[in-house]
Amino acid sequence: MENNEQLIHTFYISFQNKDYKGMQACYNDEATFSDPVFKDLDSKQVKAMWQMLITRAKDMTLIFSDVKADDKTGSCRWVANYMFSATGRKVKNEIVASFEFKDGKIIKHRDNFNFYKWASQALGTTGKLLGWTNFLHKKVSKNAMKNLEVFMSKL
């Protein structure tokens, strides 16, 4: 198995085991992360984000597949099943991840998922009615970043 392919496996196995320190160790000190909710995080923020999500997750399960990597880039698919704590609603989020590597670590991580589908599950009627709007998208992102800032202030 290619080293970077093994790195992706290590990352998601750590995720499955709710081992945020193992996940954090996979990132380069200059890493960046972005997804439809958490946009343009720096290394410190992304490491704290995983810690926050893992420590708050009570019933999260995760599977990953289609891991591919070469010496510069990689990708995989993963599915997270969990209860969204703000509403108590069940979510099945299907994600495509892409990676860039530097010095044997992840330097750039991008997760892509259908925000409307996520919002419809996580937020119920509000998500179904407004999940396609920039208004709701921005509101969810702003709230997520606020939660991350509060979490980081307590570290």
Q: Domain map of the chain by residue range?
A: 3-113
- Is the model more confident about 115 or about 131? 115
- Alpha-carbon distance of 32 to 43, in angstroms, equals 6
> What CATH number was assigned to the domain covering residues 3-113?
3.10.450.50
Does 58 score more than 90 pLDDT? no
Residues 140, 148 contacting (CB under 8 angstroms): no
pTM (two decimals): 0.93
* DSSP strands (E only) in the chain: 27-34, 61-69, 73-84, 89-102, 105-112
pLDDT at 113: 97
Q: What percent of the chain shows pLDDT beyond 70? A: 99
Does 41 score more than 80 pLDDT? yes
